Amino acid sequence: MERVHLKIGHDLACGVCGHGFEDVLHAIRDCSLARSIWDQLIPIDQQAWFYSGGIVHDQNRRWILGFNRYLGNCFVLDAELWGILDGLAILIGRVYDNVLIQPDNLEATKVIQEISSEGSNSTLIRRIHQLLLQFGQW
């Protein structure tokens, strides 16, 4: 969210697939060309794990934990939102009181910031907003 706020890489569309935002993760994993290569290299039963998950680190960028969730086949946006939701839930369970979410997906950032929890048709977004309220950050 901070990268979007600072408009870092804001206007860089992917030159291969035309996706509205190209970041490192998009270039090496989520671009349609990269994804077609990964899909050939990674066994089908492990692809959901590869395309989903997250990490938690402290303010000094020291690793705290990693996590993933089996989602089956889903859209990248849904996987990103599940990662945010799971990460927030883990942090609340460990009694952290301040978080900075840095998704690698501009769409996820936009839907969380722009859609109010009452106006969203997405249970994922409503739940993310509820957890952010517990941190006093929404």
Read off the pTM.
0.59
55-64 pLDDT per residue, tens: 777 778 777 7
Tell me if 63 sits within 8 A of 71, measured CB to CB: no
Query: Do residue 58 and residue 116 come from a single domain?
Result: yes
Query: Do residue 95 and residue 124 come from a single domain?
Result: yes
Query: Do residue 15 and residue 53 come from a single domain?
Result: no
Q: For residue 138, tell me if it sits in a domain.
A: no
In the block, tokens 């706020």 appear at 5
Query: Do residue 102 and residue 122 come from a single domain?
Result: yes
Tell me if 93 sits within 8 A of 64, measured CB to CB: no
Summary mean pLDDT of the chain: 77
Query: Do residue 79 and residue 126 come from a single domain?
Result: yes
Highest-scoring range by mean pLDDT, 44-58, 82-96, 113-127 = 82-96
pLDDT band (50, 70, 90) for residue 1: very low
One-letter identity of residue 133: L
Tell me if 68 sits within 8 A of 49, measured CB to CB: yes
Residue numbers of the domain that contains 38 = 1-44
Helix (H, G, I), strand (E, B) or coil at 67: strand
Q: What's the average model confidence in pLDDT over 19-46?
A: 80
Q: What's the average model confidence in pLDDT over 60-71?
A: 76
In the block, tokens 């190209």 appear at 22
